[in-house]
Amino acid sequence: MVADGSLGQLVLYSSRLNNGSPIRYDPTPSSWHNIPSISGGGCWATEAAHGIDTFLQFVGPGPTVVGAVMSNAMYGRQIEDSTVGMLRSNDSVTGIIESGYTFPAGARRSGDHFFRFIGSKASVFAFYGKEGEPLIEVNTSSGTGFEEDLGHGERMRKVIDEGLSALEEERSARDQHSGCCPYPRDPGRRLRSCPNQPPYQRASSYGDGGSQTIERLNFYMVGW
C-alpha cells in the first residue's frame, strides 16, 4: 500500500507487544531475561525492538524521542514490566511503541499484539482474531476489508531464510572489501546495541520515568 500509494502519507504508527509475566523465564535457560545486568532490562529491552524496527522501516533513521513512561508496578522487579515510548520522525510521523509483561497467565492466547498504520488515505490494523488467526484490516473511504496474514511459523521460516541470505551477501561483501565493518549501518536491519556498551543504563528508580528514562530510550534510537 505504501508502494502503490493507497495508504497515502503515513501520519501515525503504533505497536503493542504485551506478553506474559517475566516469571515464565525463571525456571528456564532464558532466566537471563530477568537479570538487567545481562539483558539490559525487561519488556522494553526484549520486546520493544520489534515495534521500533518496524517504525524505522517506514520512516528511516534518525527519529527523536518525544517522551516515555516505564514502570515495574505489576511485579516490582528490577526490570520494567510496562512501557510506552513516543517517537517523532524527521518528516513528522508519530510513532507510539508499547511493550509489556502484563498479559494474564492462562489466557487463550500468549499475548496482546497489535500494529496500527494511519495514512492520509487508509488505516491498516494487524492483529489476531478470535481463533488466533493473524488478520489485517484495511479501512478506506470505500469500506473495510479483511485478509489473513502469514502465520507465525511461516513468518519465522521467511525471517530465517532472509537472515541466511543476508549472511551470504555479507560474506561476499567482506570477501570483496577486506577490513570493512561486517555490519554496515542499515536502517532496515534489526536494532542492536554497541558491543562495548550496555543496552542502556539502569535507572536508579523505576517510579516516575524522568530524564534517565529518556536517555535509555535515546540509546536505542541513536546509540547504535
Of 74, 100, 68, 6, nearest to 219 by C-alpha is: 68
Q: Which domains does the chain have, with CATH numbers?
A: 10-149+191-222 (3.30.360.10)
Q: What is the pLDDT of residues 57-93, one digit of tens each?
A: 999 988 999 999 999 999 999 999 999 999 999 999 9
Residue 41: closest CA among 189, 161, 182, 212? 212
Report how far residue 80's alpha carbon sits from residue 74's, in angstroms, rounded to the nearest whole number. 9
Q: pLDDT, tens digit, for every residue of 166-213?
A: 888 876 555 554 443 333 333 333 323 333 333 333 332 333 444 444
Burial 109-145 (b: 16+ CB within 10 A, else e): eebbbbbbbbbeebbbbbbbeeeeebeeebebeeeee
In the block, cell 509475566 appears at 21
Rounded Cα–Cα distance for residues 24 and 11 (Å):
37
User: What is the model's pTM?
Assistant: 0.68
In the numeric block, the cell 526490570 is attached to 79
